Structure 1
Amino acid sequence: MTRLLVSVVDSAEAGLALAQGADLIDAKDPEAGALGALPLATIRSIQAGLPEDTITSAVAGDDDDVERLADSALAIATTGVTFVKLGLGRTMAQPASVAALGRRLAGHGRFIAVLFADENPPLSLTAALHEAGFVGAMLDTSQKRGIRLPDLLTMDQLSSFVAGCRQLGLMSGLAGSLRIEDIDPLAVLGPDYLGFRGGLCLAGDRRGQLDPQAIGRVARRLQAVRHGEQAA
């Protein structure tokens, strides 16, 4: 069943997103790039303000250095979030780097790798991620200029990625400037999560404020898809 991930910048947005139907609250700083990490204190504040059973995640950045990225991920894991997301750019989206990260992170949390579709990542990297101990993999975009995930990868490629994750027991997610009209074709592929930020913000600006009405529309559309209702 595909659920809704909403990226938030503070505890106020977290409460708003949860109230409007978000299934996973994702802490991220849109001012610091595609996968910008928020300060630890902010992440802790977000976590503390949510019901204990809320599924949460926080991003650790997308550093090209294994040690720095691992250090950031380990620090964020101490905040109590359910998952920690690590961005793997061109340099990091390689089996050797994934293995090195796995050794540093082993036993310290539940980690999800984020691959950037606009950097032509090897989608077969999911096998290395599974071997390294990651619990999930997501596809996103590194350049937030209106180019959406479905503009970069075909439905066959996205389907193969999701199916590969499922076969390995990895949680899967799809994100990247998604809009409400992307829900129907992407949800049918069966990812665990569809991730949104810009498409839920006022004027479509991912650095702006979340629009509660937009969150509600997306949450309702995703719920309708889960119940087999066709788009109008």
Structure 2
Amino acid sequence: MRHVEESDVLRFSPCREIVYTNYRNKEKTEERALISEEVTMPVIIDGEERGALIASPQDLYHLTIGYVLAEGLVRTYADIESVVITDGRALVTLTKEGHEKPSCPVDRLGPVAAEEICSYGSLLDSLSAAHHSSHGVHEGALVRKGGEMLAYAEDIGRHNVLDRLRGIVEEKGIDVSDVMLIFSGRVPQSVITKVHGMGLHLIASRALSSALGLELADKLGITVICGLRPDSFRLYTHKERISFEQ
């Protein structure tokens, strides 16, 4: 595995070494391994507790932004005056004036070559140190058509990955009209709802979807690709976005 440094785009989940008892072939041994860390943090909006995050402890700032927006606790990013992570709490202060909810971004993705989709089949494995060390995190990356990676997130929970990415998109003002989500987790209805909330039109996951997830994706105009590997994938909905021409 190549070594990848943390950056403004890459934030990795911390791990902790533990001692455990391993039983194999009738033999007991004491061994060491890394496990993913986890925190619980209440979310306070204008002095009132409105929810709680159970998540990996890195970059809680962007996770909080994505969480309050995805859960409908705050209407738009423009309504957020500040987010402060302190004393194990996320303190969100809202502006005095309300803002209109922005419309869904226009789809500028266009046909994406099947070969380009396959090229992202090993992207997540090439990045995550925590995944290889603990096998305890989900991963997601936002990639612009053509291969530019705009954001990456990992977390013990797959929904947190999506909320982290949404927070990054909102805070950095990323145009997602031609952006794809490369994802590690299953794709049920709840994941499709968060993908739609981010304004994305294509998700390509290593895992599989659910029937309700595919039904919702079809209704919302989202292309769902599952079983993503470097040489293959399964295309389920809105197949017009993928080109198979050589």
Q: TM-score range by the shorter chain?
A: 0.3 to 0.5
Higher share in helix: 1
Higher share in strand: 2
For the pair shown, which has the larger CA radius of gyration, 1 or 2?
2
User: When the two structures are superposed, what TM-score results if normalisation uses the length of structure 2?
Assistant: 0.33
